[in-house]
Amino acid sequence: MFDLDKIIRENIKKLKPYSSARDEFKGKEGTFLDANENSFGSPLNSPFEGGRPKDGGMYNRYPDPLQLDVKEKLSKIKGLPIQNIFLGNGSDEAIDILFRAFCNPGIDNVIICPPTYGMYEVSANINDVNIIKIPLTPEEFQLDTENILKAINPNTKLIFICCPNNPTGNGVKWSSIKTILENFSGLVIIDEAYINFAGYRSLIPELLNYPNLVILQTLSKAWGLAGLRIGMAFASEPIIDIFNKIKPPYNINSASQQLVLEALDNTDKVNEWIKEIVEERNLMSKELSQLPFIIRVYPSEANFLLIKIKEPQALYNYLVSKQIIIRDRSNMELCEGCLRITIGTKEENRLLIETLKQYK
Ligand SMILES: *Cc1c(COP(=O)(O)O)cnc(C)c1O
């Protein structure tokens, strides 16, 4: 049923991508007079050594457009061939590329399930793509599969599902995702930004079963690298080829590539942190539940908790006055009275609880 050729935009299908100097000659040794760089060096690297940047270390040279060294390491960590990996300037770049590759402005539409991550809607609006909203079920925050399937029309190109979901924190049932994958001939995008904190596994193995599946992950959350701006998309090779065809040629800068290579060697540290954050989350969930003014602490598979109270703004302002900043989500659909709290360090979490105990 799924045919990539049928959902890709005509202009993208016909597009002849920009060919960079780095695409034409890929060798790492030589005298490079092909890209109008400053051959003398950069004010950053000394002593100057000629040649091509092996790991993005020489800032006078353009970076590797396909980030092959980084992908090689990620490939081992994720158990996925390099051809199935795209790297973007944050997941936000991958989201934007999906709209530009598959959605004809003013004609096509996408389905999102609020309350959810805000960038799907912003990116749709920037690209002048219609949005069909099928809210999650109230309180349980699960997919309304029946209404999602009913809402699909011939111009529906993408369905965004965030799992674990932001800002609710819960995962959505695999059976619902599976039903949608099997009954939709466009792309189903599963945003796994918080997967490292969840009690279940990534859907990466399902890429072999579903050619219309795209999985998004990021180094911004569990990996602790929000400042480097590295997002990942995993999908079939033909889909990844489309991503690479339309991305800016040098979308991940040399410094980020070099630093990520270093960071990916510290998986032990990251795994320790994840364990600690999950323990703290579960503890915080209990402690918050005991505060009299908190109506509900929602179950979470992420590194944050959503709480419901009577007067969210008053509590938000009280915490700001104590220089503790949380996120007011009370204006979002189905989130009346809700605030989102990121799990901090042990000390930060204790400070939050002590401050909350003094409220009112
Ligand atoms: C934080 C977050 C991202 C990450 O975006 P980056 O651009 O990679 O920093 C993606 N999706 C969701 C749902 C998020 O909450």
For the chain, residues with pLDDT lower than 70 are: 45-57
DSSP 84: G
pLDDT number for residue 43: 81
Question: For a substitution probing ligand 1, which of 86, 89, 119, 252 has the most ligand atoms within 8 Å of its CB?
Answer: 119
Q: Which of 265, 295, 324 is the endpoint of a domain?
A: 265
pLDDT number for residue 205: 98
Question: For a substitution probing ligand 1, which of 220, 260, 342 has the most ligand atoms within 8 Å of its CB?
Answer: 220
pLDDT tens readout for residues 168-199: 999 999 999 999 999 999 999 999 999 999 99
Ligand 1 atom, smallest distance to 219 CA? 8
pLDDT number for residue 56: 41
Ligand 1 atom, smallest distance to 93 CA? 7
Q: Do 155 and 227 share a domain, yes or no? A: yes
Q: Do 236 and 277 share a domain, yes or no? A: no
**φ and ψ at residue 204, rounded to 5 degrees:** -45, -45
CATH number at residue 122: 3.40.640.10
The CA distance from 128 to 106, in Å, is 6
Q: Which of 233, 265, 297 is the endpoint of a domain?
A: 265
Choose among 238, 189, 185, 215: nearest CA to 2. Answer: 185
pLDDT number for residue 26: 76
| pTM for the whole structure | 0.95
pLDDT number for residue 51: 47
Asked if the structure places residue 157 within a domain, the reply is yes
| One-character DSSP codes across 171-193 | PPPHHHHHHHHHT-SSEEEEE-T
pLDDT number for residue 278: 98
Q: Do 274 and 319 share a domain, yes or no? A: yes
**How many angstroms does the Cα of residue 190 sit away from the middle of ligand 1?**
12
How many domains is the chain partitioned into structurally?
A: 2
pLDDT number for residue 45: 56
Instruction: Report, in this order, helix, strand and coil percent for the chain, each rounded to 5.
Output: 40, 15, 45
Single-letter amino acid code for the residue at 282: N
Helix 91-102 / helix 119-126 crossing angle, nearest 10 deg: 40
Closest residue CA from atom 2 of ligand 1: 193
Q: Do 288 and 338 share a domain, yes or no? A: yes
pLDDT number for residue 30: 86
pLDDT number for residue 11: 97
Q: Do 190 and 242 share a domain, yes or no? A: yes
**How many angstroms does the Cα of residue 143 sit away from the middle of ligand 1?**
20
Residues with CB under 6 A from ligand 1: 90-92, 117, 162, 166, 191, 193, 218, 220-221, 226, 231
Q: Do 284 and 314 share a domain, yes or no? A: yes
Domain with 134, as residue range(s), is: 4-20+62-265
Q: Which of 265, 291, 310 is the endpoint of a domain?
A: 265
